[in-house]
Chains A and B, each alone.
Chain A
């Protein structure tokens, strides 16, 4: 099967004077349409890895290929375009734009990509908002919603440009367990419906066990990589 994302010998060292190596040569490859979970203790290097996978950060050493193209050699401009068109992000702290409504937040990546919003895009956004169950509050400002609602807006936003890869860094970290369950069911549903590849970071083993594949990181090394039946 074709690989969406391939990491080879990724190392990350923080700091100029006092150097801390956080990743010690990570090799990973993710297949199209798969639903992957990365687990590990706090401070093990999950977010660092995720940010490198999402081209938000550069590795100190190693290669990263997105859809077969070397991302570690691209300039900032090309990376911004790559992120916008190919990758959807869901962060722990949802990161909505408080100046915009839920609906406008969802359409923002589309607007960045096309410069304007078509009727078609509006329809698709409405569909996504229905999917995440927020039709009632779609014209609320981002600040007038609960944590779970905001995170669901962020999920809908990550889908608007129909990326084939979605990276989520502890998307339910700030949510209670019921809401967590709902959000994961939603992500799973999207994975089934749109064949979107998911790479999800979590420290919740129960959740991770529902994925197709579970990867565990410890002190910047992969210590476990299993396919779940």
Chain B
């Protein structure tokens, strides 16, 4: 306790110096938190935009263009295969043409919306109307609706070429969606899986699509699934199709770690140099204390405590500063529509990590000064007054 109270008194006796060094640490910690928030935010944002509304693992037939039996037991099996599997979604997809003046190619996609909504968020993408529920109801993308010049409850005629002569079907438009991707908005026709199956005249599906809680586990789970299901099934996952994104994320991660490391190094150097000066400044006091009987180990602890206290004060200030910085970034860095450019992701565990790094860095920086203060000889100080 004595070393701690002396350490505190030493810090308070030179307030300006203490505040300066604590601010130095605080800036380091806040930069760490802010940069960490940006990097994690970017990563999650990228992943979300890339695969947030698509299948992470897809089970389809081994041969291309073949369908799978719409097998309830396989569906149940997939649902319980791994805790990570968040949703299993049956889909039946095949192409056709919408009859306009130039006959646009489209893709009919049949879903069970109870499941599909959890993957594609159709309900949130809906601009007008509702999702299809009864037979022969469909929803179209907004670009396609604009091009056709139709509105809700109008009929839409589609030509399917899976048989000859082509099959002509009439649907009722019940909803308009906007996926903010023109490819989807121009070509997707959404309907219930039952309607799709009736049109195609089968009781089959194209694929079982799955989303995971942790998207990065897709390859592992897919591999296990492939072994389990055997060769008649094809199991694909998002990672193998997105190597570039993954290496981009990896690069981002490494540069993030580099930034953190350099911030820590500069914090350590800053504290170490100031504490080294402090030992010289306080050598007279240390000599007096030693003459009065303080142990070398206690003298050492005075400086370790100074380091720890500086780390603590700087860490707390840094967290506040870092959160403030992130808040103002979210408040001022906005898209034209008023939404933040980037959602920063700052978890409590990251804050705790950053703060404990600061304290550890401060402790580490105080090791050398602490050793010097333990070694300082009384007689040198007493003699040289």
Whether A and B are associated in the same complex: the answer reads yes
Residues of A with Cβ closer than 8 Å to B?
47, 51, 54, 56-57, 76-77, 80-85, 89, 91-93, 95-100, 108-109, 111-113, 115-116, 157
Q: Which of B127-135, B187-195, B281-289 is the interface stretch?
A: B281-289
Decide if A91 touches B296 in the complex (CB within 8 Å). no
A81: contacting residue among B293, B378, B379, B382, CB under 8 A: B293
Q: Which residues of B contact A85 (CB under 8 A)?
A: 293
Q: Which residues of B contact A92 (CB under 8 A)?
A: 385
Q: Which residues of B contact A80 (CB under 8 A)?
A: 290, 293-296
Decide if B1 touches A108 in the complex (CB within 8 Å). no
Residues of B with Cβ closer than 8 Å to A?
1-2, 9-10, 12-13, 284-285, 287-296, 298, 378-379, 382-383, 385
CA of A115 to CA of B2, assembled, Å: 6
| Most chain B CB neighbours (cut-off 10 Å) among A91, A97, A98, A108 | A97
Q: Which residues of A contact B289 (CB under 8 A)?
A: 97, 108, 112
B382: contacting residue among A82, A91, A112, CB under 8 A: A91
Q: Which residues of A contact B378 (CB under 8 A)?
A: 56
Q: Which residues of B contact A113 (CB under 8 A)?
A: 293
Q: Contacts A91-B382, A93-B385 hold; do A83 and B13 have CB atoms under 8 A apart?
A: no
B9: contacting residue among A99, A109, A115, A157, CB under 8 A: A99
21 A-B pairs with C-beta separation under 8 A: A54-B291, A56-B379, A80-B290, A80-B293, A80-B295, A81-B295, A84-B293, A85-B293, A89-B291, A91-B382, A92-B385, A95-B288, A96-B288, A97-B288, A99-B10, A99-B13, A100-B9, A108-B292, A112-B2, A112-B292, A112-B294
Q: Which residues of A contact B13 (CB under 8 A)?
A: 98-99
Decide if B292 touches A56 in the complex (CB within 8 Å). no
Q: Which residues of A contact B1 (CB under 8 A)?
A: 115-116
In the complex, the number of residue pairs spanning A and B with C-beta atoms less than 8 Å apart equals 68
CA of A95 to CA of B13, assembled, Å: 17
Query: How far apart are B341's CB and chain A's nearest CB, in angstroms?
Result: 49
Q: Which residues of A contact B2 (CB under 8 A)?
A: 111-112, 115
Decide if A57 touches B293 in the complex (CB within 8 Å). no
Q: Which residues of B contact A82 (CB under 8 A)?
A: 293
Q: Which residues of A contact B382 (CB under 8 A)?
A: 51, 56, 91, 95
CA of A92 to CA of B382, assembled, Å: 10
Q: Which residues of B contact A116 (CB under 8 A)?
A: 1
Q: Which residues of A contact B9 (CB under 8 A)?
A: 99-100
Q: Which residues of B contact A83 (CB under 8 A)?
A: 291-293
CA of A51 to CA of B62, assembled, Å: 93
CA of A92 to CA of B295, assembled, Å: 23
| Most chain A CB neighbours (cut-off 10 Å) among B287, B378, B382 | B382
Q: Which residues of A contact B293 (CB under 8 A)?
A: 80-85, 109, 112-113
B292: contacting residue among A77, A84, A98, CB under 8 A: A84
CA of A96 to CA of B13, assembled, Å: 14
Q: Which residues of A contact B285 (CB under 8 A)?
A: 97-99
Q: Which residues of B contact A93 (CB under 8 A)?
A: 385
Query: How far apart are B78's CB and chain A's nearest CB, in angstroms?
Result: 66
Query: How far apart are B17's CB and chain A's nearest CB, in angstroms?
Result: 13
Nearest first, the 6 A-B pairs at minimum CB distance are: A84-B293, A99-B13, A93-B385, A83-B293, A95-B288, A57-B379
Decide if B379 touches A109 in the complex (CB within 8 Å). no
Q: Which residues of B contact A76 (CB under 8 A)?
A: 296
Q: Which residues of A contact B10 (CB under 8 A)?
A: 99
Q: Contacts A97-B285, A98-B13, A115-B1 hold; do A109 and B383 have CB atoms under 8 A apart?
A: no
Q: Which residues of A contact B296 (CB under 8 A)?
A: 76-77, 80
Q: Which residues of A contact B290 (CB under 8 A)?
A: 80
Query: How far apart are A13's CB and chain B's nearest CB, in angstroms?
Result: 15
Residue of A nearest to B381 (CB): A95
Query: How far apart are A19's CB and chain B's nearest CB, in angstroms?
Result: 18
Residue of B nearest to A109 (CB): B292
Q: Which residues of B contact A84 (CB under 8 A)?
A: 292-294
Query: How far apart are A201's CB and chain B's nearest CB, in angstroms?
Result: 13
Given contact pairs A56-B291, A56-B379, a sample of 17 additional A-B residue pairs in the complex whose CB atoms are under 8 Å apart: A51-B379, A54-B291, A56-B378, A80-B296, A81-B295, A85-B293, A95-B284, A97-B288, A97-B289, A98-B285, A99-B13, A112-B289, A112-B292, A112-B293, A112-B294, A113-B293, A115-B1
Q: Which residues of A contact B12 (CB under 8 A)?
A: 99
CA of A182 to CA of B378, assembled, Å: 29
Q: Which residues of A contact B385 (CB under 8 A)?
A: 91-93
CA of A58 to CA of B13, assembled, Å: 34
